[in-house]
Structure 1
């Protein structure tokens, strides 16, 4: 508190006492539960505005439940915020179209489709999609679990040990196995979409914005090209129907990137797996994520046939 406004705790206590009395009614007449809930919510709104004055920023509250705290991604068409649930105090990631894309029917369709896909997938190595909201202006807002760190940022901070590289690949391939078992292809694996909280062994796959059912093409959704150029498979880049081996190509490219950040000389088996996964012809890649996991974790005493 500023020096020219010293704290008067007796006055603060008196005002909160009056506030509590107002919430509970006067002269022994209590408010109905509905009225009391409305009054409490108005107090909460006022407190949120008070916090905003202290931070010189007006909080954006959506669905009367989430305070948008930090803009963490500001793309050409979408934005992602870190949000706090006002009652539970939990953190969430909320993805929505930019305000100037509120009337974009293709983008709206893609976000609702992403919500539908994400809510159908539940796995320890897949970032959870929790619900979808409709904002006052009609935009959909996708609510997901908040995960603090991206693999892309971590790679810029320090090298990885061979154990950490194996942890990343095990987590990612386990998540892919669940995605492919649901008949889906992620189509956008890269360090930007791999998230974790502290432990790389708990890494999760996020962002299903351009995921497809196996056998589909992106042109069916008015997307001429989709995916990260350094990780997208040749067949996906040329618009062919996708299958799980498209994600395995991206996994191979990712493994090569991880090995370039290795703190020591890594096992030659990992280098061989990176080459095998990222073969240009999908027929030369492992059949599926489960097969790739087997190659990654094959017993040391038994040679693995690459």
Structure 2
């Protein structure tokens, strides 16, 4: 399409010229004078000095017969905003009063009334409430909720929120948008100036639906000017195309970028220049500006800011759920509920079986229980000088999953004060069981490079001296280093690691802000390749945390919550799960996975439903049950048979009972008669083992 004003060539989809800004659809609209600006949001502030407007109301008078004590608190291109006392409602309200010189402008009146009509359809704590609409003489006005607080823009400029607080703010914005989008309403002018934070509660309130529209409406006025604020408009909005939910999500991406980096990705500048940058330029990666930002958060911001709408989050609720996953807690449940509501009744959030990941749960959306253990570990890491923790527990009890949860950056935000001052390094020693000390340092430095290069510069050569230098640098930067070592017995049992190595690790913990969180099947001192290491003071820096089976409350949550979210609730099968698996997370995941996919209409005709399920369960769990049986002594096997047969117990038996209870294989009761093996199916397997091995 050729511009009638400057003769420049433009895409056929454009509504205005990318060269001079003239309308391509209305030849009567000429190019804007150099340095002038296109209209922005009616509720925004004009970029040019506007002619002085006549006051909308006189503060000393009672306005519209019911509003008193008017104090102007804001002024925009379209209207002034006053704080007032509503004598009918007997409460403080905000009055948005259209400027008198616009009262005859039908376009502005229409927008003013549209704001009322649209905002009134949205009922949500994060969207401002409309009380009344009226006209007094030549003044059109809206009476609405008064939020005593501060614009988000002002907060960003004066005292930028921390990561956790910033995530909380953005989640609330997303939940407000989700409700608006469910009503088919697109805001189109989302920006920090239109978002208030309530002083007392921290509640976030989205304001100003003055140019909001129904979905798929154009982003261009009849005069050819785009609506919105250039720094926050989406590429499709800047290009004059129809806009949908994705335009608001893009604006949230811009707000996130500004909130977490302190800078706008594009702008400020001339409106047309900024609009072109949204269309054509790639933003600087947020972590280039703020290296301490979590990588996951950077990925979320950049996905929300994708040029193509189809590549962004497809709903505000989806974005809220992703942010909730990053920060954890009740906010995730709230965001997930919004996502579910958006999908509609009868639809599943995911058709995938949520129990398929058995061994190492890396995604914290599927991590349940362990609240006490999590709080304990983070409290020790978060001490003035971080403290080391040794997690001890049986195979398949969930040690690796717990370590991954502790390492996950969103969880650090939730549990650690000043989480940005921590460097976490995760190393899985199961992957390299026979490595040398030098190979250990090489692997460690590869991970350190990913996490610290932008904070402490280039790293020295891997080795004892190099690692000590890294710790000194981090200490000088007031940083704390937490090393998470999964299956650490692979190191203590490895003859390539000498007593010097463990003495070195201990000296780092004693002299710098360095801590270790390890996992192992047994107490580490029982798993050393020589006596000198097991007797060394290295182990004195650790406090032991014994990881056992789930509590009943944790088990019920594990059975009920993932299956409910996935659309196939399993609560009614809880007793069957416990009979099969006990309270061991790994075995419970196998049982729940089978039940989740089980076709109750197709069962073996000569077996009960439970027998059919138990057979499928043992196909996978049987080999692990056998491993447990092989690890038990003959005395422990005989003791377990006494429990099954309910025979009287002696003093020696009680010693075995304490060991098996600690390991999770025996469930305690108030009397000997109430002791029982952790799983009824395991008890059957044990009896088969007794017959096979001819143990009496």
TM-score, shorter chain, exceeding 0.5: yes
| Cα 1:199–1:247 shift into 2, 3 Å | farther
Match of 2:292 in 1: 265
Q: CA RMSD in A?
A: 2.4
The reply on whether 1:302 has 2:363 as its aligned counterpart is yes
**Equivalent of 2:316 in 268, 276, 289:** 289
Q: Paired residues, what number?
A: 247
Match of 1:39 in 2: none
| 1:201-254 alpha-carbon deviations (Å, 9 max, x no partner) | 520111000101001114466672111111110111222111100000000000
Secondary structure in 2 matching 1:60: coil
Q: TM-score, normalised by structure 1?
A: 0.75
More relative contact order, 1 or 2 (CA 8 Å, 6+ apart): 1
Q: Larger C-alpha radius of gyration, 1 or 2?
A: 2
Q: Displacement, 1:70?
A: 1.6
Match of 1:124 in 2: 125
Quick check: 2:59–2:69 contact (8 Å CA) kept in 1? Answer: no
Aligned equivalents of 1:125, 1:207: Cα separation in 2: 12
| 1:65-120 alpha-carbon deviations (Å, 9 max, x no partner) | 11252222222332111121135441111112212222111111110111111111
The reply on whether 1:59 has 2:60 as its aligned counterpart is yes
| 1:5-44 alpha-carbon deviations (Å, 9 max, x no partner) | xxxxxxxxxxxxxxxxxxxxxxxxxxxxxxxxxxxxxxxx
Aligned equivalents of 1:162, 1:257: Cα separation in 2: 12
Aligned equivalents of 1:255, 1:101: Cα separation in 2: 34
Quick check: 2:70–2:83 contact (8 Å CA) kept in 1? Answer: yes
The reply on whether 1:274 has 2:335 as its aligned counterpart is no
Match of 2:180 in 1: 179
Aligned equivalents of 1:140, 1:122: Cα separation in 2: 23
Secondary structure in 2 matching 1:114: helix
The reply on whether 1:164 has 2:225 as its aligned counterpart is no
Aligned equivalents of 1:169, 1:200: Cα separation in 2: 15
Aligned equivalents of 2:201, 2:190: Cα separation in 1: 16
Quick check: 1:167–1:201 contact (8 Å CA) kept in 2? Answer: no
| 1:165-194 alpha-carbon deviations (Å, 9 max, x no partner) | 111111001011101000110111111011
Quick check: 2:71–2:84 contact (8 Å CA) kept in 1? Answer: yes
Q: Displacement, 1:298?
A: 2.4
Superposed, 1:62-211 pairs within 5 Å as 62-67=63-68, 69-137=70-138, 139-148=139-148, 149-198=150-199, 201-211=202-212
Quick check: 2:59–2:71 contact (8 Å CA) kept in 1? Answer: no
Secondary structure in 2 matching 1:217: coil
Quick check: 1:77–1:98 contact (8 Å CA) kept in 2? Answer: yes
Question: What are the ranges of 5 or more consecutive residues in structure 1 without an aligned counterpart?
Answer: 1-56
Secondary structure in 2 matching 1:126: coil
Superposed, 1:207-246 pairs within 5 Å as 207-219=208-220, 224-246=225-247
| Cα 1:265–1:124 shift into 2, 3 Å | same
Match of 2:405 in 1: none
Secondary structure in 2 matching 1:127: coil
| Cα 1:76–1:198 shift into 2, 3 Å | closer
Q: TM-score, normalised by structure 2?
A: 0.34
